[in-house]
Amino acid sequence: MKDVFCRIIEGELPSTKVYEDSDVLAILDVNPVAKGHCLVMPKAHFQDFLSTPKDIVHKVFDVAQRIGQAEISVLGAKGINILTNVGEKAGQSVPHFHVHVIPRYVAGEGGFQLTMNAIDSSTLDLPVLASTISKGLK
């Protein structure tokens, strides 16, 4: 069964396009958390950010950057959040790599809140943790 983004890309479902080329589609989110909230995705299906080839990731993020710049210059956004989720535990609800471009106008405005609450790093062996992650790099 095709995911909702594959169906949009194939023209089976309507969308409001912001940008399109041979590899990338950007649309307005139908459930926006701010005015101008866009979703940028590759036209080819990839499960998530981690499984997408680097050249496609670069194209998607290039478009996301350009949309963010436009939202600041023409919508008057005061900032932009760029976000992609990998896996259900991280909030990925559609199994198709996509990037949220969320314009921010006033702190705390809209339905999107990003908070980072630090854990107690004194319980971690940071050099061992860094070494472990480094060994896993491809």
Secondary structure letter of residue 108 according to DSSP: T
pTM metric for this prediction: 0.90
pLDDT tens-digit readout, 26-78: 999 999 999 999 999 999 999 999 999 999 999 999 999 999 999 999 999 99
**Among 13, 69, 10, 11, which Cα is nearest to 38's?**
69
Structure tokens, 103: 């314009």
Structural domains present in the chain: 4-113 (3.30.428.10)
pLDDT band at 115, cuts 50/70/90? confident
Q: What is the mean pLDDT of residues 126-137?
A: 91
Q: Residues with catalytic annotation?
A: 98
> What is the model's pLDDT at position 86?
97
